[in-house]
Amino acid sequence: MRYFLSLGSNLGHRSRNLAQARSLLQKAGVRIIRQSSIYETEPVDYPAQPFFLNQVLEIEATQSPMSLLYLVKDLEQRMKRRPSVDKGPRSIDIDILLADKTVVQTNKLVIPHPRMSFRNFVMIPLAEIAPDFVHPLFHVPISVLARMTGDSSTVRKTGEGQPLQAI
């Protein structure tokens, strides 16, 4: 199944954390199809913390959405993510944004990610790699949703991690 994941880090060596997360995903059998540029982004819900580095990946994985959730949570733990203040600083955060056209609504997992369309740090990198992908609930292309977030937070390309496109 094709998924879109959001990666974020604002503790430690942020770009190295993103690279390690990509590597661990690949070692777990996930195929990275595309990856966005890396963006430095202003914290949104809890502003008293360092800026993040964020990136979006388009991946192919054999796991069901729930199995992929367990995989990414395990990778976060392996990368020493520790519970702290809700929306607070973290070495790595991996969120499942989309799972093809699949909609999932459980107590543990909601896909499409319920807050993605309100967040520049998700929508700008997602629009970079999947502008024509149509959101399965809103029935609008990602490029259009990215212009409608209502989010005024800072998001700027770092020049690191140039986009990877599928061959």
Domain boundaries, the chain: 2-157
Q: Residue 99 is which amino acid?
A: A
pLDDT for position 127? 98
pLDDT surpassing 50 at residue 41: yes
**47 falls in which pLDDT band (50, 70, 90)?**
confident
Cβ atoms 131, 165 nearer than 8 A: no
CATH code for residues 2-157: 3.30.70.560
**165 falls in which pLDDT band (50, 70, 90)?**
low
pLDDT surpassing 80 at residue 103: yes
Q: Which helix (H) or strand (E) holds 6?
A: strand 2-9
pLDDT surpassing 70 at residue 64: yes
